[in-house]
Each structure stands twice: as structure tokens, then as C-alpha cells.
Amino acid sequence: MSLRDRKRARTRQALIDAAVDLFERHGYDRTGVADIAAAAEVGTRTFFRYFPSKEALLFPEADDRIRAAVEAIATRGPDERPAEVLLRALRTVTADSEDMGSRLAALRLRLIRDVPVVRGRALQLQLDAQREIARHLAATYPEQLDPVTAAALVGAFIGAVAGALQVLLDDPDQAADPATVQAALRRATEIALTGWTAAAPTG
């Protein structure tokens, strides 16, 4: 890794750290890009050479997540079914994010809930991930899944998880309890993969 690359990585991290700090202290809307750049000791113009927009800074590892999910699909067991592959991919991604204790991850959840423009960005990334995962899933099971069916399956899966998380995160008590969250996610995936009646025969 060359000196230039290291410098770039350091500047990038400095921008993220400065932004997280300022967002926590003064709020997202009350923090300008110029403030972030100044705190990271770079020019305002330089900020946009590292991130395409102010919100993008909150999702610095988005690509890695998708890559991890795609890889989880690629390395499937010989007799693993699509549903099982999706579950494993979900576990892989959520395990990677054991940085949930990190300031950035916690801040991000709050901002997704509270700031419309951040939520919009998160939803876009989710959609991109869906599309990519569905594409690879369809390619992996060519004679079981046509592209549209794969997209519907992945959409149901991620939609269920996202929907459950959304209402869960509105309740600070439930969101703070890992066991409750885990149970809700398990329930959501069951609903998506086996249907509601099968997942919860009566309640």
C-alpha cells in the first residue's frame, strides 16, 4: 500500500470521524459540509472527492456489504436451497456489522429514522443491494428461479426484515434488547420465506 493510498485512507477516515462528531454534537442539518471539511482540515472542495454527497459519508462500507452477500451466495453448499442461501447471507452481513457498537452505526440508525434525506439514501442502497442479490441468486439457480421470481423472493425477504426493523427501532426499549431484535428478525425471515400462515399458524 503506497504512501498516497495511506494518506487517502487517513483523510477519508478523518472526514468520517469529524462528521460523526459534529453530527452528534450539533445535529445533521445544522452541520454543513464546510464544517466537516474544516474539522478534518481539508478544503470543502476535497470533501466531494471522497464522498459524492453529504449523506453518502454515513454509508462508507455499503459496497462491502453487497460484496459479502454476493460472496455468501456464490459459496453455497451443493444441496443448499435458495431460502437457505438467503438466510446465510443475512447472517453473514449482520455478523459483519458487529461494529453495531460503533458510533457511526448507532448514529446512522438514528439519522435513518429521523432525517428524510438519510432515510432516502438508505432505501436506495437497500434497493441496489436487492437487485444485485436477486441477480446473483437467479444466476445461481437458473432452472429454479427466473429473474422476476428471484427479485420477488429477495424483495419479500428484505422487505420483511426492513419492515420489522422499522417498527422495532421506533421503540427504544425493544431496539436496545438484542434478544428481542434477533427474535423479530427470525420471525420476519420465516414470514418471508414460508409465508405467514406457515410461520404463525394462529398466533
Partner DNA sequence: ACGCTACTGGCACTCGCTGCCATTTGGCAA
Partner DNA sequence: TTGCCAAATGGCAGCGAGTGCCAGTAGCGT
Binding site for a copy of itself (CB under 8 A): 81-83, 116, 119-121, 123-124, 127, 130-131, 134, 143-145, 147-149, 151-164, 166-168, 184, 187-188, 191-198, 200, 202-203
Residue 4 interacts, among DNA, a copy of itself, none and using kind-specific CB cut-offs from 5 to 8 Å, with DNA
**Cβ distance to a copy of itself smaller for residue 11 or 126:** 126
Among 4, 95, 173, 202, binds DNA (CB under 7 A): 4
**3-state per-residue secondary structure call for the chain:** CCHHHHHHHHHHHHHHHHHHHHHHHHCCCCCCHHHHHHHCCCCHHHHHHHCCCCHHHHCCCHHHHHHHHHHHHHCCCCCCCHHHHHHHHHHHHHHHCHHHHCHHHHHHHHHHHHCHHHHHHHHHHHHHHHHHHHHHHHHHCCCCCCHHHHHHHHHHHHHHHHHHHHHHHHCHHHHHCHHHHHHHHHHHHHHHHHCHHHHCCCC
Q: Is 118 in the site for DNA (CB under 7 A)?
A: no
According to CB under 7 A, which residues from 44 to 73 bind DNA?
A: 44-46, 48-50, 52-55
125 binds DNA (CB under 7 A): no
Residues that bind DNA (CB under 7 A): 2-5, 7-8, 11, 31-34, 41-46, 48-50, 52-55
